[in-house]
Amino acid sequence: MLSQTQVDLIRNSAERLADANVAATNAFYANLFKVAPGIRNLFSEDMFEQSEKLWNTIVKVVESASNLTEIEAELKALGARHVKYGAEPAHYIVVTDVLIQTISTLMNKEWTDETRVAWKTALEAVCATMLEGAAQHAT
Ligand code: HEM
């Protein structure tokens, strides 16, 4: 559960990133494939559409940050679809770390530890919900 301050920190940083959305997602995938080269082949060659979808999900998460249960069903379905993409639980930790690292680089001087904790809390909740959906899908 995010505090109102954390919701505000996430919203403010997302606003800063809005102009850089293409750069942000490109940087994210470049960092991700550097850290975890093994998962590159799970994705298609052309990452453009993929980047847009990821960004749209982040926007949704930011919009629902004060009440993530609002998008719970959607996140569970997203997690269930990820089973067939080949996503494994350990990958989610890498994705969370790389997303935070990418956002922190783009935010530069405006990045604080409090902002890091806010994003980490939100993304961990998102990943946990996706993984719940993935587990339900598997049974
Ligand atoms: C914060 C967690 C994540 C979010 C928000 C996210 C979001 C998305 C979205 C929105 C799509 C578009 C397709 C759809 O809606 O079904 C997608 C596709 C995909 N995701 Fe994720 N994802 C996450 C974590 C992961 C992880 C951990 C992996 C592990 C490798 C992964 C691998 C993929 C792959 C391979 C595709 C399909 C790409 C293609 O069709 O070429 N994702 N993801």
Give the pLDDT band (50/70/90) at residue 139.
Answer: low
24 near 106, Cβ under 8 Å?
yes
Q: In this predicted model, what pLDDT tens digit does every residue of 10-27 receive, in sequence order?
A: 999 888 887 777 888 888
3-state secondary structure 75-139: HHHHHHHHHHHCCCHHHHHHHHHHHHHHHHHHHHHHCCHHHHHHHHHHHHHHHHHHHHHHHHHHC
Domain limits for position 127:
4-138
Q: In this predicted model, what pLDDT tens digit does every residue of 112-127 receive, in sequence order?
A: 999 999 999 999 999 9
Residue of 31, 50, 84, 99 with the most ligand 1 atoms within 8 Å of its CB, for mutation: 50
Q: Residue 52 pLDDT more than 80? A: yes
Residue of 78, 98, 101, 127 with the most ligand 1 atoms within 8 Å of its CB, for mutation: 78
Which tokens is 57 given?
Answer: 């999900």
Q: What is the atom index within ligand 1 of the atom nearest the CA of 39? A: 30
Which tokens is 131 given?
Answer: 């993984």
Does 62 contact ligand 1 (Cβ within 6 A)?
no
Tally of structural domains, the chain: 1
Q: Residue 54 pLDDT more than 90? A: no
- Residue whose pair of structure tokens reads 């930790």 in the numeric block: 93
Across the range 91-107, mean pLDDT stands at 92
